[in-house]
Amino acid sequence: MSEKLPIALDAMGGDYAPAAMVDGAIQAAERGIAVTLVGREDQITKELVAKAGKNWHVLPLNVVHAADVIGMDDAATQVRSNKQLSINVAVNLVRQKKASAVVAQGHTGATLVSALFGLGRLAGVERPAIVANFPNAKGRVTLVDVGANADNRPEFLQGFALMGAAYTSTMQGIPDPSVGLLSIGEEEGKGNALVNETFDLLKNTPGIRFFGNVEGRDIFKGTVDVVVTDGFTGNVVLKTAEAEAKVLVGWIKEALTGGSWLVKLGALLVRPALRSVGAKLDPAEFGAQPLLGVKGLVFIGHGSSDAKAVYSALANAQKAVDANLLEKVAVKLEGLTKKLGADA
């Protein structure tokens, strides 16, 4: 493992930073994943000593100092002016080939800006996109973009489709994933102006197996492997779906604990079975979502990430490094750059 580059973890971003980040990094390091913790050295070292003892450096962990951190309410544009922000230092480690990937649970907009300006876009990419992947009736589904782009053009979505397909084949092991375009009707011509223009583009995009339009229900039915949408709709869908799962699980818990003693006995007996369903839905199992389209691997986690979520994010990032996700995405986009070249 020693020849592997570490993953740069922004240890200062997120609701439970730096404690949860240090904890998650230790869990990852114990499983052989090398991590560079980026942030205030004194705070991080103190946490490391408290949690892994004075000999913490026998683990594949190191600390790179960054004096500042961007607050959740700060403007993302601060990233442009302050080189000492932990997210900028982390991104810089990837640019300098001192880290294989960035994992960040802080200010999403700041991470986007830092990655975009620190690493630059891959050839053929109009806009980077955030990719989510979650369980559905038939296995898992990839949804892209889930929030990097509020206003969109058809060419953006064309890139999302290619990046989503590359992600799904590389990370989910589906060789030639089907790609659906999220709309409000299945037939060609149903949907808004953006969808209709994008439909025409995707029909003629080499490198994807385009299924056609899909509807909201198809995300959970598992009609296609990849669902492409603008970052506004995708973000709303992702956040709605997460909250719905939480509310439904809460109702079930309430129903099982609020009833008669017979119901309570039954609840005791079914608890392990229900726990497996709960685990399926736990975002902490997932950890973080990749930002694709920049020249480096960047994973964005929930602000509310606990140590388990941080560990999952690091493990997921290491899996992407080992699977060569960045190169696979770049290759997938080559069709577009060639087409662009031919057009010119």
Smallest separation, CB 271 to a copy of itself (Å): 8
The pair phi, psi for residue 110, each rounded to 5°, is -65, -40
User: Distance between terminal CA atoms of the chain?
Assistant: 45
Smallest separation, CB 234 to a copy of itself (Å): 9
* Residues forming beta bridges with residue 121, ordered by sequence position: 294
Residue placing its CB nearer to a copy of itself in the complex, 68 or 242: 242
Q: Compute the C-alpha angle 70/302/292, nearest 5°.
A: 85
Smallest separation, CB 241 to a copy of itself (Å): 6
Contact residues for a copy of itself, defined by CB under 8 A: 136-137, 147, 150-151, 182-184, 190-193, 195, 215-221, 229, 231-233, 235-248, 250-252, 255-256, 258-259, 262-263, 265-274, 276-277, 280-281
CA 39 to chain centre: 21
Q: Rounded to 5, what percent of the chain is helix, strand, coil?
A: 50, 15, 30
Would you call 248 helix, strand, or coil by DSSP?
helix
Residue placing its CB nearer to a copy of itself in the complex, 84 or 192: 192
Smallest separation, CB 152 to a copy of itself (Å): 8
Residue placing its CB nearer to a copy of itself in the complex, 170 or 229: 229
Smallest separation, CB 101 to a copy of itself (Å): 25
The pair phi, psi for residue 147, each rounded to 5°, is 145, 5
Tokens of 40: 């205030």
What is the C-alpha separation between 192 and 179, in angstroms, rounded?
Answer: 18
Instruction: Indicate if the alpha-carbon torsion angle 308, 14, 219, 244 is positive or negative.
Output: positive
Smallest separation, CB 313 to a copy of itself (Å): 20
Smallest separation, CB 191 to a copy of itself (Å): 6
Instruction: Indicate if the alpha-carbon torsion angle 13, 19, 20, 23 is positive or negative.
Output: positive
Residue placing its CB nearer to a copy of itself in the complex, 255 or 331: 255
Residue placing its CB nearer to a copy of itself in the complex, 197 or 334: 197
Residue placing its CB nearer to a copy of itself in the complex, 135 or 335: 135
The pair phi, psi for residue 72, each rounded to 5°, is -65, -25
Smallest separation, CB 72 to a copy of itself (Å): 11
Residue placing its CB nearer to a copy of itself in the complex, 304 or 324: 304
Residue placing its CB nearer to a copy of itself in the complex, 172 or 196: 196
46's CB contacts (< 8 A; 6+ apart) are none
Q: Kindly list the distances between the CA atom of residue 58 and the CA atoms of 3, 24, 35, 225, 257, in Å, as whole numbers in the listed order.
A: 15, 16, 12, 42, 46
Tokens of 168: 């799904």
DSSP state of 284: G
Nearest to 218 by CA among 182, 262, 256, 167: 182
